[in-house]
Chain A
Amino acid sequence: MKWIASALLAAFLLLLPLFAGDFYINLASQILIAAIFALSLNLLVGFGGMTSLGHASYLGVAAYLSALLASRYGFGHGMAAIISITGTVATAAFFGVIALRATGLGFLMITLALSQVLWGLAYRMSNVTNGDNGIAGLTRPMPFGILLDSAAAFYWFALIVACFAFLMMAIFVSSSFGSSLKGVRDQPRRMAALGFNPWMIRWITFVYAGFWGGISGLLYVYYNKYIHPTSLSTTSSAEALLSVIAGGSGTLGGPVVGATLVLLLKNYASAYIERWNMLLGLVFLFIVLVMPTGIVPGLAKLTARFRKGSQ
């Protein structure tokens, strides 16, 4: 039963461009990008117990670096991608050192403040980042000479990256390191007493999450061919956090479901009302008050009950 469902899902994802229109293919690409982003944040929030409100930093840094290198300094896409991911990882490593001096709410406030600094830089340093106008006129890369300009080609590209990202993060959390991460989340003192180094475990996770945030940032800038300071804003971080919490933090499927819901909501709601931020706020209130554990754990509980009932 489970295998059939997985096979059907895989076939649906693979063959989507064959039967869907460009609008839906592009929507699906955006969902894939948001899903990678939410999954990377979930490493911190769900598996590490570190609630970050500044995760957009890594998406934004990677996107801005790649955009600047490609458009201003004439780097090729491959080289630009490598440098921007390296830069993003370095940023995450540095921010991690600062933010992980604190835990809990202090950590949240420091990550928020740091990301706001980057947002302010993107806005104010207009001779570098073009400020509020953003950087336009970017191109998509051509991996192995394949043109990614059509919606379907980009979708398949994003799908490959997303599957790889999902797999890598699944391996990460189920590895022995992942177990020690969950241990540090639940019982930091006992883990320290057992000889683990909680700080180092948290920091490595922070950097790893920054790396995947950077990958989603690259996809983001390839997809939009444009970058604006809003991608670094608190709203951007908050959308990802909402995806994680709505879907179910600490599960692998949760952030994907959450990202799908947030993006569908954003796209469909914006057709009717232009007040996305207000809707986002209301959804936040609704999710936290009504479904604090998220959709995926809620559904899992329901199906478990259903199975027990049918036996």
Chain B
Amino acid sequence: MQFWIIQGLNSLSLGGLLFLLSSGFSLIFGLMRLANLTHGAFFMLGTYFAAITMREYSGLNIWVTALGAGLAVAAIGGLFERLVLTRLKTNPLGQVLVTLGMSFIISDACLVLWGGDSIPVPTPHNLQAPTRMFGFVFPTYRLVLVGCAIATAVALYFLMERTRLGAMIRAGVDDRQMARAVGIPVSNLFTIVFCLGAGIAGAGGVLGGPILSAYPGLDADMLPLALIVVILGGIGSLLGAFIGSFIIGFIYTFGTALFPELAYIILFLPMIVVIAFRPQGLFGRVGA
């Protein structure tokens, strides 16, 4: 019984982490029709940012770090979008290739700058004490992480459904040409959404840091998880990314605990099932 509850909570926290990773990816894909393969690298940049700044200035607040990393990564993403991606508007394959190239550049730069050893990100002091619930002991930070993911989901929901910016983004997702025709600056929206997606990934990297720690190859570990989540949930759907994250969180955690050798295969089984019966994903729209 204890095993199931502890692993269930672990699954929830992994799901939260995956949502922080994949929501930005899904957002960018939804509007820009761009599979941003740099996303794993953005996440890793955030983790390294946290590992380095918190090593230099010990006692730095993790929320401040997450905000800083989010802004920094958003700025890098914005520059990349403005300087490179906008030149390739008519070449969607080229866009994917440059994001892949960019991910190689970022991950190799991290290796040069910070070496090959993994650097831990400290858990915040006030969250280090474990939580006791119903006689079970559980790391508090992981619960807080789930809260962060839910807060991000709610914030994104309000941004998309209740604000003017969100309405413009939805218009761009539905019909880009029509949105342009009625005067919505779609190119600027692209930059905003790309910054936003990159920023969430960067901040998510910081928040995932205490669990994962920063190491070379983190990007290559995270990118396929993001892909599996969005393929499962439906590419471009925020709700799909949310549900997909928790499904994958559960499957991966229990898979690793019960069949450690086969965890990687179990991870992609739901993806196969979904693609076989609903190629557009659980919450994806046909033609998206």
Residues on A facing B (Cβ under 8 Å): 51, 53, 98, 101-102, 104-106, 108-110, 112-114, 116-117, 120-121, 124-125, 127, 233-235, 238, 241-242, 245, 275, 277-278, 280-285, 287-289, 292
Contacts and interface: CB of A to CB of B under 8 A. Distances in A.
Contacts of B108: 275, 277-278, 281
Nearest to A99: B275
A280 B101 contact: yes
A281 B96 CA distance: 12
Given A51-B93, A112-B224, A288-B94, A238 B105 contact: no
A200 to B, nearest CB: 17
A240 to B, nearest CB: 12
Contacts of B87: 289
Given A51-B96, A105-B35, A110-B231, A281 B105 contact: yes
Nearest to B271: A113
Interface residues of B, number: 44
Contacts of A116: 220, 223-224, 227
Given A117-B267, A120-B264, A281-B105, A102 B279 contact: yes
Interface string B276-288: 1001000000000
B109 A98 contact: no
A159 to B, nearest CB: 31
A241 B105 contact: no
Nearest to B275: A101
B237 interface: no
A127 B260 CA distance: 12
10 contacts: A51-B93, A106-B235, A108-B96, A109-B227, A116-B224, A117-B264, A117-B268, A241-B97, A245-B97, A288-B94
B100 A284 contact: yes
Contacts of B220: 116, 233-234
A281 to B, nearest CB: 3
Given A281-B103, A284-B104, A112 B227 contact: yes
A84 B128 CA distance: 51
Contact of B224 (A101, A113, A284, A285): A113
Given A116-B224, A233-B220, A109 B275 contact: no
Contacts of B103: 281
The 3 A-B pairs of least Cβ separation, nearest first, read A284-B101, A281-B104, A281-B105
Interface of B: 29, 33-35, 37, 84, 87-88, 91-94, 96-98, 100-105, 107-109, 112, 220, 223-224, 227-228, 230-231, 235, 261, 263-265, 267-268, 271-272, 275-276, 279
Contact of A281 (B102, B264, B268, B276): B102
A277 B98 contact: no
B227 A117 contact: no
Contact of A101 (B101, B104, B279): B279
A292 B84 CA distance: 13
Contacts of B265: 117, 121
Given A117-B267, A288-B98, A292-B91, A108 B35 contact: yes
Given A105-B96, A109-B35, A124 B263 contact: yes
Contacts of A114: 268
B100 to A, nearest CB: 6
Given A53-B100, A98-B276, A105-B34, 17 more contacts: A101-B276, A110-B271, A113-B224, A116-B223, A117-B264, A117-B267, A121-B264, A124-B261, A124-B263, A234-B100, A242-B97, A278-B104, A278-B112, A281-B101, A281-B104, A285-B102, A289-B94
A117 B223 CA distance: 12
A235 B104 contact: yes
Nearest to B103: A281
Nearest to A116: B224
A108 B264 CA distance: 20
B31 to A, nearest CB: 13
A98 B272 contact: yes
A61 B212 CA distance: 29
Contact of B98 (A108, A109, A275, A284): A284
Contacts of B29: 105
